[in-house]
Amino acid sequence: MKFSIGIYIAVPILMGSIATATPVLATVSDCGNGSITLDQIEDSCTVQSGMHISLPDGRLIAVPAVGETVVAQASTTHEAIAVSEVQITNTITSGIAILYNDEWYGSDDAIVEQKAWMESRTDTIQSWFTTDPLKYETLASCSSSDYEIGGWRWPNDYNWYYNSSDARASSLAAFQAAATAWTGTISVCNYTELSSAGEYYVGATTEAPNLTKDGGCSTRSTRNVVGWGELPSGTLAVTCTWYNSYGDALESDQRYNTSYSWSSASSCSGSNYDVRGVGTHEFGHVFGLGHVAQSTALVMKPASSTCDVAQRTLGRGDQLGIITLY
């Protein structure tokens, strides 16, 4: 059996003191009030919550509040170049740690803390894994037991709203089906497992998801929103998730690219992208799962083809990933 685990969680230092602790920024110069490049961070300028990190690929990510992490995960078209996952952690006492394109940036102390927590969390999650190895293969997605854990989970149900402004299809029912794919009894690949992940659709909203047109994350609010908007060419959707230093998810917003044609019908044809299929992938991110190799054909592969209705159904690795978390 093969599986992979990647953990991105802020280190829980000074438990219970998140609300009152003052960050000690091990830095020597002022970054200014605008966006901050990774090179500037390497030069040890002072970074604070509310500032924006400017990534080499053009994305802007707002630095989260003290004691929180934000992670941006994008799904792309099959022809596009993969978009690197990025996480930014504002630790309680040690400053900023950024993981981008598998490279670390920021405060040395914060980076050391993050790496130590990642190792510890990996051991913890491996201890949760009790399911028998893969024994049954039919669909391509049944031949892989791979999954990757992002490091956060929801301590309670994921309560979400839908903003239908600029929607490219009548999509609410498709998004609801995408969300429930990860909850309750999941029977795939001749296995039946029970997931304790929970979600609840609250209702419509005019509030926009806290994402930007460049595929970055803005400052979070208090509401989980699924919606539509402009995104870079090649990017189908982006999910931004915020979580605290205990690994508890605080908010997760999704944005779907209005530049593409979408379908929410039961069947799909032509050059449309399947709302439910891509939505199932994005809700996987919401619940705490990361990308696996494209060759696995799992829901959590990073890219989708047009009319990829197979992505509506979890594969064995997807199933194992969600029951490991919930």
pLDDT value at residue 143: 85
pLDDT value at residue 117: 78
pLDDT value at residue 131: 47
pLDDT value at residue 22: 39
pLDDT value at residue 122: 61
Per-residue pLDDT of the chain in tens (326 residues, 90 and over written 9):
444 444 433 333 333 333 333 343 333 455 666 788 888 886 566 777 778 999 999 999 999 999 999 999 999 998 878 888 999 999 888 888 999 998 999 989 999 988 887 777 666 655 555 444 333 334 567 989 999 998 899 999 999 999 999 998 888 999 999 999 999 999 999 999 999 999 999 999 999 999 999 999 999 998 999 999 999 999 999 999 999 988 899 999 999 999 999 998 888 888 899 999 999 999 999 999 999 999 999 999 999 999 999 999 999 999 999 999 99
What single-letter amino acid sits at 173?
A
pLDDT value at residue 258: 96
Q: Which residues are within 8 A (CB) of 1 and not within 5 positions of it... i.e. 6 or more apart?
A: 133, 134, 145
Q: Which helix (H) or strand (E) holds 237?
A: strand 235-244
Pair of tokens at residue 41:
């961070």
Q: What is the DSSP letter of 311?
A: G
Residue pair 27/145 in contact (Cβ under 8 Å)? The answer is: no
pLDDT value at residue 124: 62
DSSP 79-148: TSPPPPPEEEEE-SSS-EEEEETTEEEE-HHHHHHHHHHHHHHHHHHHHH--PPPP----SGGGS-----
pLDDT value at residue 121: 65
